[in-house]
Structure formats: structure tokens, C-alpha cells
Amino acid sequence: MSLREYIDKLRGSGKEYVFLGKLGREYEVTRHAYQVRNRIVEFELEDTGIHCITNLISNRKDLYTILGVNNDVEAYEKIIDAIANPVKLEKVDFNEYFEETSYTLEDMPFIKYFREDGGYYLTGSIIVACIDNICNASFHRIMYVNENEAVVRIVPRHLYQIHISYSERGEDTPVAIVLGADPIVELASAITTRYGLFELEIAARLSGDNRIALTPKYKIPVPVTTSIVLEGVISRDKLVEEGPFVDILGLADIKRKQPVFQLEKIHVNKKYPILYHAIVPSLWDHIFLMGFPREAMIYNVVKTVSPNVKSVRLTIGSGGWLHAIVSIRQVKPGEARSVGMAVVTAHPSVKHVIVVDDDIDVDDPHMVEWAIATRVRGGEDIIIIRNTHGSTLDPRSRGGVGDKVIIDATKPFDEPWEKYKRVKIP
């Protein structure tokens, strides 16, 4: 389905929707998204004529609706299955779905979300690149430079590896930038998988739609329901300053030299409505798209050491990234600590892990705090792992190296349950 069809699906499930008319490029989108969290916000971005939406995914129910599941475990299992069983893609004629335009980057939905941002950004931008029959699709923020150039933030992951390989050959990196992808493609593109596993094949398994089209010049595969495709190259040697930019924790990232995207052609979809997902940094869309696929990875690893895992949460307060809470039903001594170590293995960016019993609601921070208050003895139940790989998003890390804390907030295994059982309201 197209992005518009997924919006209709969410509205059919009861999610509220509001159209705000024209909004400016500076700050207005952020303010409105923050004020009406549980409504899909649609607007026309001034000077572009492009319709945009935000707050597409503002709670877990939205994810269930998009994935066609009823709860977290079903969602995790569906994502895990898609990673294990990707679907071969079917090529269709690019010209059947897309037409070339005379647009430049000036016509694209670059937005300045916060006063701290160093420029105007594309945030709902997925870059697809291929080399030697290996393809990758991943999210990257892109800052406007001029009508033909933008600067791309590339962290050392798979696109970085592809870009380095092209640069070592003395070549620029051919890419397609996908704008207005459907949320299944977005979820798949947010998954960190092994190098060589193409995220669009994961999306095809999740959605049942395996159609892709190859861009005219560089033959880059893109989903046929995509609204806008920018075709061009990432320069092998031209760098400009990118940033500051507000990250998922609501902190302003630093300026740094990053490679330049050089536009060649812009194509728009002629079969599906043109619509762009304006992801507000550090708000709900950003947190759920980035964090939820990682929850599935945590669940998959944790269940190998604790088959009775009930819930996994990367918390909203930590940007859906740095804090994990896992609830389990203990069946053996030491199980909670093994779970904590499994979380660290599954999600190396995690900073603090709290493991609780299955009577604790992981979505209720007061209950989690109560578990810490009543079931933790500091000298026995807090494990500190010093100077290990973490997240560069953590301002207390030094170059991504920091400490991890595992808190075993479960009932001591060898003590009676009645001692730690919370009474119920009569």
C-alpha cells in the first residue's frame, strides 16, 4: 500500500487526523506535532505544494495496525521472520510508475525543525545504494546546501561501507533517495541487519508487496509506491559542514564534515498520491521507527536465555534507545542477570537495563520504580560494566565508549514470593 493508504488504515482503526493547511519551513511542524501527539497531522509545506504528514506512529497501537498484529510479541515475531525469510523482489517498469520532473532540491520538503538546527533537513529520507550485487536501504538525515546539492550524515554502517568501496575505486556512489515511502518500508529500513541483506526484501516479506523499479540512470531499486525519488551520486571527495542537528535524545549534535549528494534527476509517482513523511527529530515517529525494530532484536536474543520473557521496552524517556526494561517470569536462579547480559549483547547502544518480574507493568514508570525500591539491594543486584562500546548519542560516553548498568529488580529467587508481592486495591 502507499503511504496514503496506510493513513486511511490508521484512521479506520480510530486514530484521529487533522489537516492544518499551509505550514512554513521553520519550526511550525515541530510545534504542531508536539501539541497533538495522537493525531496524524497533514499539511502543505509552503513554497513546495507538497503535502506532508507527521505523527504517523505516535503509540504502539499504530505499529500493530501497520503490521497487522495484535501485540508486541506478534510484531516482534513478524519482524524476526521477515529478517530470516526475505522475499525476492520483482522488477517492474520504472516509467509505468514514475515520471521525470524539472524540480530541484529547492522544491523538496526541507524543514528546519528546531532553532538549534544548522539548516533545513530531510528527515524521512531513505537512501538506497548498491555495489557488486549488494544493496542497502537506510535512513539518513540530509541537509540542504543549494538547489543541486545536499549534505548527507553517514555513520559507519552499511551505506558508509558502500561509499568507502566506491571511493577506493575512484568513483562517486550512485544512490536513490526515497521520499514518501510507506511505513513498512520505513520500519524495514530502520533495521540494522547483516551486510548484504537488503532491507527492501524484508519489507516485501512484511507487506506482501515485492515490486520494485530500477531508476533510469543508475538502476537503483526503489519501491513502486514511493512518492518521490531523487537520483544522483554521493561525492567521493567533496565534503561540507553538516549540522548542528537535534538528535533522538533532544540534544543538538555537533557540526562535522560530511559527503555531498549531487542531484541529477527528480522523479515523482504518477500512480500514487505524492505525500512525504516529515519525521520530527526526537518525537514519536523518530523514537518508534528507530527503537521498535531494535526491541524485536532484543526479544529474539533474550528469549534464548529466558523463554518466559513477557515484555521488552526501549523507553520513551531514553529516546527509545538507551534504556531497556525487560519483564520475565523467573524459573531458575541467575536468570535475570543472564537476561540483562543478553540485552547488552543484542543492543550494544543500550546504557541502562532494568529486569523486572512479570507482575510489573513495563509501561508504568511508577511500577518500575517500585520494583527497584522494593526488590533491589545495591551491593548484590546492580552490575556495572565499565568502558565498553555504547552509543555515540550518549553525551556521557567518550567516542561511544562508556559504562553499562544492569539492575536486577526481580524478586530474589530463593526468597518467598509473599515478601515481595504488592497488594491489590480491594
Annotated active-site residue 394? The verdict is no
- Distant-in-sequence, close-in-space partners of 32: CB < 8 Å, separation ≥ 6: 20, 23, 41, 43, 54
Nearest Cα neighbor of 281 from 116, 150, 158, 67 is 116
Within 10 angstroms of residue 237's Cβ, the number of other Cβ atoms is 9
Which residues are 239's β-sheet partners?
Answer: 259
Question: What does the block give as the cell for 235?
Answer: 561525492
Question: What does the block give as the cell for 68?
Answer: 497487522
What are the start-end ranges of the H helices in 68-195?
72-84, 94-97, 158-168, 183-189
- Distant-in-sequence, close-in-space partners of 99: CB < 8 Å, separation ≥ 6: 267, 268, 270
- Distant-in-sequence, close-in-space partners of 383: CB < 8 Å, separation ≥ 6: 337, 340, 405, 406, 407, 408
Q: Identify residue 215 by its one-letter amino acid code.
A: T
Q: Evaluate the CA torsion angle 5, 8, 9, 10 in order and state its sign.
A: positive
Which segments within 4-74 are labelled E, that is strand? 16-23, 39-45, 50-54
406: left (phi over 0), alpha (psi -120 to 50) or beta: beta
Which residues are 11's β-sheet partners?
Answer: none
Q: Among 62, 172, 247, 394, which one carries the catalytic annotation?
A: 247
The DSSP result for 85-98, as a single string, is: S----EEE-HHHHE
- Which CA distances in Å does 39 have to 19, 34, 94, 185, 282? 10, 10, 34, 21, 17
- What count of Cα atoms within 13 Å lies in the side-chain half-sphere of residue 320? 22
- What count of Cα atoms within 13 Å lies in the side-chain half-sphere of residue 409? 25
CB-CB contact of 191 with 250 (8 Å): no
Active site residues: 247
